[in-house]
Amino acid sequence: MITRRDFMKFVGGSFASFTALGSYAFAFEPLARLSVTRYALTPPGWTPGLKLRIVALADIHACEPWMSASRIVSICRQANDLGGDITVLLGDYASGMNFVTRHVHSSEWSKALATLEAPLGVHAIMGNHDWWEDRTAQRNGRGPTFGHRALQDVGIKVYSNEAVRFEKDGNGFWLAGLEDQRALRAGKKWKRKHLKGLDDLDGTLAQVSDTAPTILLAHEPDIFPKVPSRVALTLSGHTHGGQVRLLGHSPMVPSSYGDRYAYGHIVEDDRSLIVSGGLGCSIAPIRFGVPPEIVVVDLG
């Protein structure tokens, strides 16, 4: 029979455990951890002899104390040391969270991101929060947002349904970037009944004028079922891996497909998608089992 003393020990131990887990998820993992997650693959139809290293950063959500400008600079320095041929930014630079001590202005986070370096340049797309935090863009139903302008002002190329051709060691490849799939919010305030995306997958891929492989940047992974096999790799963020991931499963994911595209390397019909767990937090400053990460992809 359990005694009152044993019961109190159990309650006290459980409380201490939950407190420790909560402190880890709230303070340590979002603030103190940074992982480098590496993938290596050769997609079908990839050009023989073309070796390309991509360094990808997603979902920064700049705000204090969680993602200050100085922390972004520190992350960028680590990204620069990873030897990427090209660096890509997968959207959501704006905070999108109320649990902050200060919102970091776009002029600050863009200046921090300007410290990124790569031989083939730094290239960006926008995310839903970059659109949602810009009331003028929401009211007008179009951009550019303050995020577009901030990145362009520091010399970072921003893709809005655009494809650009590159070469490495005499071999060509295309980088294509979609505008956000959830850009315009619904509501009476914005005179819209439904959420509206500004992405144009067909129009973007129509700009690819030869058979060189294409890498697609798409903030939300939900576009993946529509991506044709001619695209060698799709890179996405948005989900944060669910921010809480237990035994390889995320109980809550901001995706119409649930856990299907929550995190990691997903292969369907010989098509590859890599979803970054991102760097910052959205809605609540909690991460557990999916620490902030920089993604490195070696192709070929």
Q: pLDDT tens digits for 259-280?
A: 999 999 999 999 999 999 999 9
Lowest pLDDT segment from 5-14, 84-93, 248-257? 5-14
Residues 106, 165 within the same domain: yes
Look over the chain and give the mean of its residue pLDDT values, rounded to a whole number: 90
Confidence at residue 152, expressed as pLDDT on a 0 to 100 scale: 98
pLDDT at residue 156 above 70? yes
2 compared with 202, residue with greater pLDDT? 202
SS3 at position 64 = strand
pLDDT at residue 1 above 90? no
Residues 39, 143 within the same domain: yes
pLDDT at residue 15 above 90? no
Cβ contacts of 203 within 8 Å, gap of 6 or more = 161
Cβ contacts of 20 within 8 Å, gap of 6 or more = none
> How much of the chain, in percent, has pLDDT values that exceed 70?
89
pLDDT at residue 10 above 90? no
pLDDT at residue 16 above 90? no
What is the radius of gyration, based on Cα positions, of the chain?
A: 20
pLDDT at residue 4 above 50? no
> What are the pLDDT digits (tens) for 81-119?
999 999 999 999 999 888 889 999 999 999 999 999 999
Helix (H) or strand (E) holding 295: strand 293-299
CB 82 within 8 A of CB 55: yes
Residues 279, 141 within the same domain: yes
Residues 28, 45 within the same domain: no
Structure confidence at residue 32 as a pLDDT band (50, 70, 90):
low
Residues 6, 51 within the same domain: no
Range of the domain at 7: 1-32
**CATH, residue 262:** 3.60.21.10
pLDDT at residue 6 above 70? no
Residues 10, 144 within the same domain: no
Number of helical (H) and strand (E) elements in the chain, helices listed first: 8, 14
286 compared with 27, residue with greater pLDDT? 286
Q: CA dihedral defined by 96, 93, 35, 173, rounded to 10 degrees?
A: 140
Confidence at residue 247, expressed as pLDDT on a 0 to 100 scale: 82
Please confirm whether the linkage preceding 144 is cis (ω < 30° from 0): yes
Residues 27, 86 within the same domain: no
The total number of structural domains that make up the chain: 2
> What are the pLDDT digits (tens) for 159-212?
999 999 999 999 999 999 999 999 999 999 999 999 999 999 999 999 999 999
Confidence at residue 33, expressed as pLDDT on a 0 to 100 scale: 76
Confidence at residue 272, expressed as pLDDT on a 0 to 100 scale: 98
Residues 28, 41 within the same domain: no
